[in-house]
Copies of this chain bind each other. A is one copy, B any other.
Amino acid sequence: MRILIANPNTTASMTEKAAAAARAVAAPGTEIIAATSKGGPASIEGHYDGAIAVPGLLMEIREGEAAGADAAIIACFDDTGLEAARTLADIPVLGLCESAVMTAAFLAQRFTVVTTLERSRVLIENLVRHYGMGDRAKVRAADIPVLELEDKASGALGKLERQIERALQEDGAEAIVLGCAGMADLARSLQRQYGVPVIDGVSAAVKQAEALVAQRLSTSKRGSYASPLSKAYTGAMGTFAPMRT
């Protein structure tokens, strides 16, 4: 089984961190293939970055599927482009936020997502509600620019810990979800430190991908995610035409 980790931003070190987290939990027969977007923002912080990252992301998924991937993961906690990718691809596509909150729901009645910047907090809160967990989960921002997570000396970990502690004390959180792909390397040690489940979205998504493939399940092509209709795509976006002959 081959699972594509598609990083929708252009920062290769984040791709590598996600790939490492993926490999740490992948089943013996699973091959993890990681791809970094070839064009777009260096990190995804808010709606604008997210929207512009989508075409590059979709191209990676299209190429990955053509190259034989059995499932694809969008390695950004905002689940940017998830619905478009499910429409485009025939293989299952997983988002980190969706995978992480569904995983947390098996472990705890109440949990808190800790993300990076305030500008992403409500965006993720809306996702969490859309996934049906609005009554069970809170979202906190730790005031960490995404790329600071790539720098151990940045103080990012301390900011993250402060929000986890507030989640446990003020939110009644029974588990913690790390709300950024760039935090994937921290889950295990934070779980030991706080004694509650700490969920990383990359790991969660890999296991969901394996689960779907093993069950021979893929995205429904009836209704919402029906394959794109054949039509003219022009201009700078001409290469994205859904049907190529």
Contacts and interface: CB of A to CB of B under 8 A. Distances in A.
Contacts of A81: 51
Contacts of A136: 132
A56 B203 CA distance: 34
Contact of A211 (B37, B208, B235): B208
Interface in A185-233: 188, 191, 195-197, 199-200, 203-204, 207-208, 210-212, 214-226, 228-229, 231-233
A175 interface: yes
A227 to B, nearest CB: 8
Interface in A112-170: 118-119, 121-123, 126, 129-136, 145, 168
Interface in A231-245: 231-238, 240-242
When all copies of this chain in the complex are counted, the total is: 6
B56 A235 contact: yes
A68 interface: no
Given A108-B223, A197-B217, 14 more contacts: A27-B210, A38-B235, A47-B224, A52-B55, A83-B123, A92-B107, A102-B106, A107-B220, A119-B223, A121-B223, A145-B229, A188-B216, A196-B222, A207-B215
11 contacts: A39-B236, A41-B241, A47-B83, A47-B86, A47-B224, A51-B81, A52-B237, A107-B218, A110-B122, A132-B135, A174-B220
